[in-house]
Structure 1
Amino acid sequence: MVTKGDGYFKRLVRKLTSDVDELDADDLSEQSQAEGAQRACDCACGDEVTVLGRLRTVELRPREAAASLEAELFDGTEGVTLVWLGRRRIPGIEPGRTIKVQGRLAVRDGRKVLYNPYYELQMAT
């Protein structure tokens, strides 16, 4: 017989025995779906996507004459590289910040990339 408390107990045991990074990834994935965003692992090259996640890294990439700002967004399932061409800095785009991005997904060197995505900074919860 399964009771309502069994689900709670399973979640509690999982939280006590799981890795912190794994739990954080699960929370990010749940938050992303609650906001109506797509999971990065389900997105394919050429798709118009909306992804919500946390910025892991942000760095300036000078390539020949034109600079670009690159950031890695992680939504709990997979990373997506964000590239803003011709930008050296964008206020609010910093590691640890949660953002929602929209754009057409491309693949570069086997990694998912969004070039010049539309973005919304999310309030800290």
Structure 2
Amino acid sequence: MGIEARGGQGPRGKGSLRRLVKRLTTDIDELDADDLSEHVEAENARKACDCRSGEEVTVLGRLRTVELSPRDAVATLEAELFDGTEGVTLVWLGRRRIPGIEPGRTIKAQGRIAMRDGQKVLYNPYYELQTAT
């Protein structure tokens, strides 16, 4: 009787074993995407894949890249935010650096979605740095 419970037959045993097997056999990017998708729903944000050009949106995700892109003498800080479904490029015009905006950081951004070269973009978004979870 006690052996069965220890062997994964208890009320939490089967689910825990499935989650462990999934974590061990799934690609790290897929696990990260699943985790981010859960946080998006919890923070009342929209999934990037559901956002359309011209809409006022709030998105939440992890910054994959952050780079300075000088365009015709105007500094532009660009960051790719990934929420588990799709990427959104965040663009701050006239900025060379913003404290806390760095790869791996989770942020919530708000603004109006635009399209640039077929990619979703938020220009000068309002943003909140999120604590690590």
Q: Normalising to structure 1: TM-score of the pair? A: 0.90
Whole-Å Cα distance in 2 between the matches of residues 42 and 5 of structure 1?
36
**Hey, what does 2:54 align to over in structure 1?**
46
- In structure 1, runs of 5+ residues without a counterpart are none
Larger Rg: 2
Q: Aligned match of 1:120 in 96, 112, 128? A: 128
**Hey, what does 2:95 align to over in structure 1?**
87
CA offset at residue 5 of structure 1? 6.9
Counterpart of 2:64, as a letter, is: R
Provide the identity percentage: 77
Deviation by residue 1:68-102 (Cα, 9 ceiling, x = unmatched): 10000000110000000011111111111100000
**Hey, what does 1:65 align to over in structure 2?**
73
* Structure with greater proportional strand content: 1
CA offset at residue 51 of structure 1? 0.3
Aligned residues: 123
* Stretches (4+) displaced over 2 A: 3-17
- Structural RMSD (CA): 1.6
